[in-house]
Amino acid sequence: MVLAGFLAASLSLVPVPELAEMTEEIDALVLAGKAVPPDFLLRVRRMASPEERMQIVVYLRRSGLLTGPALDLHRYVFNAESGTSQTDRNMNDTASAQVSAEK
């Protein structure tokens, strides 16, 4: 129970990535010949708007860093409202319910 509270609090402290900084990071990865970091799509989900998230997904695909099967756009683009993912909202709801239950 306490762990969920800590996780929810730590997620709220993570800054929402901006489109410009994400494209700069993609450019740097391409120029360095590196792969996308494992947490990159999670950061994409935390972006502020669906339009920006879609731009990054397209940019990743066109730059050659996003290969393989298609992404679930509902998961990575459309279901992450105002910079928070459904998982983040569920964790926040769970943490709030646990705090209320402890009172």
Q: For residue 67, give the amino acid letter.
A: T
User: If phi over 0 gives left and psi between -120 and 50 gives alpha, with beta otherwise, what is residue 13?
Assistant: alpha
The tens place of each residue's pLDDT in the chain, 103 residues long, gives 556 555 555 555 667 889 999 999 999 999 999 999 999 999 999 998 999 999 999 999 999 999 988 889 999 899 755 444 444 455 445 444 444 444 4
Nearest-angstrom CA–CA distance, 47 and 56? 10
User: pTM of the entire structure?
Assistant: 0.62
Instruction: List phi, psi (to 5°) of 9.
Output: -65, -40
Helix crossing, 50-63 with 19-32: angle to 10°? 10
Instruction: Please give the span between the terminal C-alpha atoms of the chain, in angstroms, as a whole number.
Output: 13
Q: Which two tokens stand for residue 62?
A: 């066109």
Type and span of the H or E element at 51: helix 50-63
pLDDT at 98: 42
